[in-house]
Amino acid sequence: MKARPGKATRVRNLTATDSPDPGSMPRRPQIAARGLLAALALVTSLAAGPATQAAEAKKAGKVDVGQYVELQPVGLPIVSKGLLVNYVFVYVRINLTSGANVARLREKEPYFRDALVRAGHRTPFTVPTDLSKIDADKLTAALARDAAVIAGPGQIGSVVVTSQAPRRRVNTPPA
């Protein structure tokens, strides 16, 4: 390009990432795509591990069918002589029958928890001799009854209290 008299010629300032030939260096989207493909390959290889282990367990005959709904921990009140003295956090598993629709019933987990909280506040599952735990038999009977109404007939196999954790340790009241 010829410079005109009186006009300054424009010199292009090249930075470290620029090149006079735009096709010679990779562009940022190309680099990002390569990184994305590498991350996708890594995630795919990591996800294949549990699937392979599950297939091996199935061949060995040790497979968890997963016919249950695990409830989030629920804090239930412990009442003694009309006074609230403690809370016990219970972990509950509702075992389903083999014909139950597990995905549909797992979506109803908040309803199961709500039924448990309502039953626990209506008539607390207190063990009079130990204020650090709840009466698991009463709880399972009440929740099994409510869960059958929520899930429908023939869907609930059993209800199991997997663990109990008191908020604090409380001395047993005198008789």
Other Cβ atoms within 10 Å of 161 Cβ, number: 18
Please name the residue that has the structure tokens 């979506």: 107
The predicted model gives 141-166 an average pLDDT of: 94
pLDDT of residue 107: 95
Q: Tell whether the model's pLDDT for residue 57 goes beyond 50.
A: no
Q: Tell whether the model's pLDDT for residue 26 goes beyond 70.
A: no
Of the candidates 168, 107, 99, the residue with the CA atom closest to the CA atom of residue 133: 168
Q: How far apart are CA 27 and CA 98, in angstroms?
A: 55
Other Cβ atoms within 10 Å of 89 Cβ, number: 14
What does the H/E/C string look like for the chain?
CCCCCCCCCCCCCCCCCCCCCCCCCCCHHHHHHHHHHHHHHHHHHHHHHHHHHHHHHHHHCCCCCCCEEECCCEEEEEEECCEEEEEEEEEEEEEECCCCCHHHHHCCHHHHHHHHHHHHHHCCCEECCEEEEECHHHHHHHHHHHHHHHHCCCCEEEEEEEEEEECCCCCCCCC
Higher pLDDT, 99 or 61: 99
Q: Tell whether the model's pLDDT for residue 62 goes beyond 60.
A: no
